[in-house]
Chain A
């Protein structure tokens, strides 16, 4: 079967009508991984046994003529920050090198309950901290479009696998742009749902007030199918919202004519690459021709989003990562004489440079004497950033921006300058802080054939609208 452009419905139908089998489809993906992933590095662990068991179940159902569930037989990948029972889960870190979770992440369980075949676990920046995937403790991921370029991060493996047809869809996690930015760099669709839309039970925590699980897919429709599958209240996660889940797929074909789309000048300022600007302006013209009304909006606190994000995210990370102490699970340093010595050495050996940097920054921002000046101040600015969106969404249905100020950069280009790397998130962290949903859809290429991403931001729980807008653009482009 031709794996390029293979979507969820095409894969499921082929298994349902016995054109192929789920087992054959999984094996074809493994063959492709075998062939391509040596140079890309998208997978950290393959879960072949689990995949083939599930594929078998789907084939059995199809053979009996039973209707397959929405993801029946569809090969998927899971970012290695989501726990998978019996399958090694590392979070891209040496400290969890040997960790085998005893339970499943809710989002993964829901994917499998819907028939998905989990091929394996996707490479990522260590503890999802990074914008280039160069912070993986195992190996960097390379961009399938240009192997000298990064795939973005932190869900770089999830994006690269979809772009290279090594999985039909994948799950990623987005804390400051970690689904949307790699989607943009690799030329695929990436969705960060509203905070609370998808349960985080079983997601290895980075920054709890900012962590989201979301899909990376070849089409907007596939992203909608996955969201419909994983969204909704989960009693195991008290932050999951008790808000009804609409049929995102059915909503896709509603007309976009008459929708008001906001354009904020703050997203088109200094630092935005000319080719990206041009592509996004082209997309805005396209929306105009589709009958959308383009409305200027102002999000005046945008320039303060990156510093706010890096204080809040690191403060929460310093607290969340305190659990890696070498006692119950995680790497333990040998030959430590005392307990506190064992903690220190284990953490020192287990964590990489960026993780230590963020733990240090976060600990500093929370420490006595600096809490008010840094952490509390950032939380207040977060309120201002959120009010900007509240104000804008009184006038518009969605906001369109570039996903990233540039196309994919080269490996090593920013890896020695943490601040330059943080600024790669400049257009994505705002939505993370406000908790609103955002989607990145491919919107053309640079002269060097590198993908460009268009970001569409929506109101809280407004996924149906941004998916519809993204779908309309995808169909028209």
Chain B
């Protein structure tokens, strides 16, 4: 057993999930069986393999440049108007579960 009940509670907390007692029990079994399975990755020597985060790193990157310059391929020229025009206020609020027409409303964060 790699994952304990405490781990499940801790991870659920990190993930902002409540989970019922029944869900926690199921999760304990599932996570342990999946993690047992993924353990086979440790059979591999990866000492000369750099981590690969993105396929798009494989094309377009200018290795001779520094920092963000290397990723110039992914950037576009600024267009002062048009392309990134914000959504109108009322449209942005249309899907809000609760709003006062100006802001998104949420339950109290701080008690006074």
Residue positions of A touching B, CB distance < 8 A = 98-100, 102-103, 195-196, 209, 235-236, 238-239, 241-243, 301, 303-304, 307-308, 310-311, 318, 322, 325-332, 336-345, 347-348, 351, 353, 356-357, 359-361, 363-364, 367, 374, 376-384, 386-387, 418-419, 422, 434-435, 460
Q: Verify if B25 is at the interface (C-beta below 8 Å from A).
A: no
Contact assessment for A327 and B41 in the assembled complex, using a CB-CB cutoff below 8 Å: no
Contact assessment for A383 and B108 in the assembled complex, using a CB-CB cutoff below 8 Å: no
Q: Verify if B17 is at the interface (C-beta below 8 Å from A).
A: yes
Interface-central residue, A327, A348, A367, A380, by most chain B CB under 10 Å: A380
Given A348-B17, A360-B15, A367-B14, verify A241-B59 contact (CB < 8 Å). Answer: yes
Q: How many interface contacts (CB-CB < 8 Å) are there between A and B?
A: 175
Residues of chain B lying within 8 A (CB to CB) of residue A357: 27, 30-31
Contact assessment for B52 and A379 in the assembled complex, using a CB-CB cutoff below 8 Å: yes
Residues of chain A lying within 8 A (CB to CB) of residue B51: 376, 379-380, 382-383
Residues of chain A lying within 8 A (CB to CB) of residue B49: 380-381, 383-384, 387
Given A356-B17, A380-B49, A419-B33, verify A342-B107 contact (CB < 8 Å). Answer: yes
Residues of chain A lying within 8 A (CB to CB) of residue B73: 242
A sample of 15 inter-chain contacts (CB < 8 A) reads: A98-B95, A100-B94, A239-B74, A304-B43, A329-B95, A338-B108, A339-B108, A341-B107, A347-B17, A348-B17, A357-B30, A360-B27, A380-B46, A380-B51, A418-B30
B78 to chain A, nearest CB (A): 11
Give the secondary structure class of A's interface: helix
Q: Verify if B40 is at the interface (C-beta below 8 Å from A).
A: yes
Q: How far is A181 from B111 in the complex, measured between Cα atoms in Å?
A: 52
* Interface size counted on chain B using CB atoms at 8 A: 58
A365 to chain B, nearest CB (A): 9
Among A195, A310, A318, A367, which residue has its beta carbon within 8 angstroms of that of B55? A195
Residue of A nearest to B98 (CB): A332
Residues of chain B lying within 8 A (CB to CB) of residue A242: 60, 73
